[in-house]
Chains A and B, each alone.
Chain A
Amino acid sequence: MDLNKVLDENRLVIAEKWLDAVLATYHKDGARFFKKQQDQFANPLGYNARTGLEKMVKEIAQGGGQEVPPELKQFIKLRAVQQFTPAKALAFIYDLKPIILEVCGKEAGDLDVKQWLKVEAQIDNLALMVFDLYMAARELIYKVKYDELKSGNAGVAAGGCPSGAVIRKHNAEKMELKVIRDC
C-alpha cells in the first residue's frame, strides 16, 4: 500500500484531528470558538491554524513539505507571543505522527518501514523549519521593543528622559533573564 496515497485520501481527516490537538492547548471555551467560526477576520487564530495545517498535510502527502504555508507561518508567530514555553508552543508538530498512524495505520496495513521513515523525516524537517520561524519571531519581538524605545514613544513614563527609559528597560530585561536562569 502506498502510504502517500492513503495520506492524500485521508488528509482532511488528519488535518481535522491535528487541528483538534492544537486547539486542545487552549481553554475549551476558546477552542470551541476557534474551531467553529470560519470567518478569517473574525477568527484569525482559528482560520490560520486550520488553513495552515490543511495545506501542510497536503504538502506532506504529496511528498513535499519543504515550504511552510503563510497561514501556518502566521500561526507560529502567534504561538511565539502567547504564553507557552518554546517547547509547548511547537510540540503540536509531533502530534502529526501518531495521528497519521491512527488514521492511516489500518488502511495501510503493515506499513512499509521505508515509506513511514520518509514521512517521519518530513515531519522532523517541518519541526526544524518551524523552530527557525519561532526563533525569528522571538528575535523580531526584541527588535520591535528596541525600535519602540528608539522612536521616542517609550519615553512617556521615563520621567521626561528617553535615555532613562532605555536604562530601566535594560534593568528590567536583566531581571527577566535572571528569572529565566533561575527556572
Chain B
Amino acid sequence: MADMKADELGVSVARDPSMMTHAVPTKDWMDIEAVFKPGNYCYPAKTSIVEYLGKELPPGVMGPARDWDVESDDWKLPDNWKEIIIDGLRQRLDKFRSLKIFMDCCVRCGACADKCHFFLGTGDPKNMPVMRAELMRSVYRHEFTKAGKILGRMAGARPMTFKVLKDWFMYYYQCTECRRCSVFCPYGIDTAEITMMGRELLHLVAVNINWVLEPVSNSNRTGNHMGLQPHTLKENVEYLCDDIEEITGIKITPSWNRKGAEILFITPSADLFAEPGIYTCMGYLLLFEHLGLDYTWSTYASEGGNFGSFSTNELMKKLNGKMYAEAKRLGVKWILGGECGHMWRVVHQYMGTMTGPADFLEVPKSPITGTVFENAASTKMTHISEFTADLIRHGKLKLDPSRNDHRIVTFHDSCNPARGMGLIEEPRYVLKHVVNKVHEMPENTIREKTFCCGSGTGLNTGEIMELRMRAGLPRANAVQYVHDKHGVNTLSAVCAIDRATLSALMGYWVPDVEVTGVSELVGNALIMDGEKEVRETGLRFEALAGSEGDANV
C-alpha cells in the first residue's frame, strides 16, 4: 500500500466499486443470497400470537409456532417445509385463477421494472416488480411446467430451497402491495396479489412478522389493533369531544353500540388514539353533529383496518366479517366507513367473492340528501369522502374555508382508495370546498400513478425505519417539489396508515410539512350552530391565519 503511486490509488478509488461498497454483485440474480441484518427485516411474530391465531383458523394456515431468529441460518422450519410450500402453491393455483394467469403470462417486457418505490429508493433489481414475481415464478416453473422441469435454470426455473425462502421473506416484505406497477403492466398482472400469495405461503411455515400478526390478534380478540377495551375507546372519544368543546364551544355526546341506529360508523382505531388521526376523528364527530346524523360507534367493530389482508385470506375474511356481524347485531341500515386504506380494498375488491353481498343491510342512502350510493349496492358500505362530497354538492354544509388559510395543502392519493376502488375525485372535491389553497403534486406521482407512502401492508414498524425512508423517497420527493414551489405545508390523505407513516416520512424528508386527514380540514371549516363567536384555533389547537400567534404557524 505504501508503495502505491498516487495516480494508481486514485484510479483504484474511482473505478473499483468494491472499494466503496463491497456490495455490487456481479452474479446472476438466482445466485445472490438475501442477507438479513438489523434494520432490513421486520421482527417475527411472537410464538403466543401464532399459537392463538392457529387455533382460530383451519389447521395449517398459520404453521407451527416457534421462536426463530431471522439472521440465523436455522429458522427451525418443519422437516417437510418444502412440501408444505409446494402443496400450498398448488392449492392456490387451483383456487385462484388469477395467480395461474399471473404466473404464466408475463413476457418480461420491463414496463413495471422502474415503477416500484422500493426499487427507486434502493436500486436493488429484486425490487423490480417483475423480479419480485420471478422469485415465485421460478419455483412455479420448476414444479408445475414441463419446460421448467426439463430445462431447469435455462428456462428460468429453480427448486424451492432455503435460499429461495429467504428471498421471499426479504422481498415480499419489501412490497407494500400498492399496485403502482400493475397500472403500467400491459397484461394487467397484479403483482400485489403475487406478494399476497407469497406471504400466505410463508405463513404456512410460520415465517411471518409481528407487526402484522399482533394487530390481527388484537383485532380478532378485542376488536381493534391496539386491543383497546370498550371503556377505553369510549373514554378516548370523550377526550376528543372535550377538546372539540374547548375549540368550538359545541358539546358532543356520541352513542356507542346503539341498536336501531340508522348508520354504523367504522374507522381505523388509529383515529381514536394516535396523532394525527385523532384530529381526523374530531372532524368526523363535528360533521355528524352538524348533520344531526342517526349513527352509532361500536366498541366491537372498532377497527376498519384489516391487517389480515397482509397475511392470509382466511384472516382477511375473518376481520372483514366482524364489521358486518356487528352491523347485523345492531340492526343498522348501512355502514359508513372512515378514512382508511386497505379496509376499502378488502371491501371493494375481495369481499364480493370472499363472503358475498351483505344482503341483510340496505343500499346506503344519505338521510340528508336522499342520494343512493348505488356503487355500494353489494357491500352496503360508503366512504366518508363520497358521503361528504355528496353533502357539499347539495349545499348541505355550512363551510368557511378561510379557517384553513394557515394551510397550503396538497393531496396524496392513498394507494388502496385510489387504485383499489377508484376514489380519486371525491376527496379533491371536498378539499376544494374546505381549503382555499390547494396545489397538486406532479402528474406522474398522483391519482392512479400515485406513489406509495413506503410503509403500507404492515411495514410501518420502527425496526425498519431506514427502509421506510428510502422506499418513501419518490413520494417525499414530489412533496418537496410542491413545498419548494408553492410553499405547501400540509399533506392531506384519506388513509390512517398514511397519516401515521407520512408523518414519519415528512419528518425525515420535508420537516416543514404536516400531515392531516381530509376530514380534519372539513372539521376546521364547518360552521356549527351555536358555536363560539370566533374560532381561534384549528382542531389541533394550532393558531388560525389572522389570529393571535399566527406568526408561529
Chain A contacts to B: CB under 8 angstroms: 17, 21, 24-31, 33-34, 37, 39-45, 48, 74, 77-78, 81-84, 88, 91-92, 94-95, 97-99, 101-102, 137, 140-141, 143-145, 147-149, 151-160, 169, 172, 175-176, 179
Contacts and interface: CB of A to CB of B under 8 A. Distances in A.
Interface string B458-470: 0011110111011
Interface in B502-518: 503-504, 507-509, 511
Interface in B456-486: 460-463, 465-467, 469-470, 473-474, 477-478, 480-481
14 contacts: A21-B14, A24-B17, A25-B17, A27-B24, A44-B473, A83-B466, A141-B465, A151-B276, A152-B273, A153-B270, A155-B273, A157-B211, A160-B218, A172-B43
A28 B210 contact: no
Residue of B14, B128, B470 ringed by the most chain A CB atoms within 10 A: B14
B11 interface: yes
B24 A45 contact: no
A65 to B, nearest CB: 19
A173 to B, nearest CB: 9
Contacts of A141: 465-466, 469, 508
A148 B114 contact: no
A28 B24 CA distance: 8
A107 B474 CA distance: 41
A141 B115 CA distance: 26
B466 A74 contact: no
Nearest to A31: B123
A42 B114 contact: yes
Interface residues of B, number: 70
A144 B504 contact: yes
A176 B125 CA distance: 27
Given A24-B24, A140-B508, A172-B463, A37 B444 contact: no
B98 interface: no
Nearest to A143: B507
B500 interface: yes
B150 interface: no
Interface in B208-231: 210-211, 214-215, 218, 222, 225-228
A160 B276 CA distance: 18
B275 interface: yes
Given A33-B113, A157-B210, A160-B227, A101 B10 contact: yes
A155 B460 CA distance: 11
A110 to B, nearest CB: 14
Contact of B461 (A24, A31, A144, A157): A157
A88 B270 contact: no
B474 A44 contact: yes
A7 to B, nearest CB: 16
B182 to A, nearest CB: 17
B22 A88 contact: yes
Contact of B114 (A43, A83, A155): A43
B274 A45 contact: no
B123 A27 contact: yes
A108 to B, nearest CB: 14
